[in-house]
């Protein structure tokens, strides 16, 4: 599993360093994306459309997913993303994701998984909470990469904080 975290430069010394010293080592790969690069952690500054703000989270997440797909798609079965304020137990997450594959007799190359804390607000489409983080299988990330710029299905232009709702719409 590749663990991806979005952050800001002022969190490198505390939040990102704490992740590296605790749970991030349990991921098979770990990268943070920020407003400044720091190869020691590792943190990558990644450009995205619009301003660097919470209200533009969708554009930041789109850039992170594009980077992960273009650089690591064939290296990992699953990709997990979340903010710099979460704690993950990678062993448990990997065990759970492996159990899905085992139960379904599936291959992450072909089986689409979009796994996370599911919200189903009354009368609206369900989505996985971005705050809790969520995982995409390789096949799902491949599908997202293929559709992420499709204005009809994926809404690539909005500047919104609702990245979790937006990605769920893209993956329908």
What is the tens place of the pLDDT at every residue in 60-74? 999 999 999 999 999
- Identify the residue whose tokens are 């995409």: 136
Q: Measured at the alpha carbon of residue 107, what is the angle toward residues 100 and 151, in degrees to the nearest 5?
A: 95
- Give the pLDDT band (50/70/90) at residue 12: very high
What is the tens place of the pLDDT at every residue in 36-62? 999 988 899 999 989 898 898 889 999
What is this structure's pTM? 0.90
């Amino acid at each position: 599993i590749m663990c991806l975290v979005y952050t800001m430069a002022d969190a490198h010394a505390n939040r990102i360093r704490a992740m590296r010293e605790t749970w991030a080592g349990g991921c098979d790969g770990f990268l943070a994306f920020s407003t400044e690069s720091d190869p020691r952690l590792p943190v990558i500054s990644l450009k995205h459309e619009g301003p660097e703000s919470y209200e533009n989270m969708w554009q930041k997440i789109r850039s992170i997913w594009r980077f992960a797909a273009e650089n690591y798609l064939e290296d990992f079965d699953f990709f997990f993303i979340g903010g710099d304020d979460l704690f993950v137990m990678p062993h448990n997450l990997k065990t759970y994701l492996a159990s899905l594959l085992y139960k379904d007799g599936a291959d992450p190359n072909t089986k689409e998984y979009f796994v996370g804390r599911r919200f189903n607000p009354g009368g609206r489409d369900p989505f996985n909470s971005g705050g809790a983080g969520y995982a995409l299988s390789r096949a799902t990330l491949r599908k997202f990469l293929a559709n992420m710029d499709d204005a009809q299905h994926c809404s690539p232009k909005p500047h919104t904080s609702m990245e979790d709702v937006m990605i769920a719409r893209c993956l329908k």
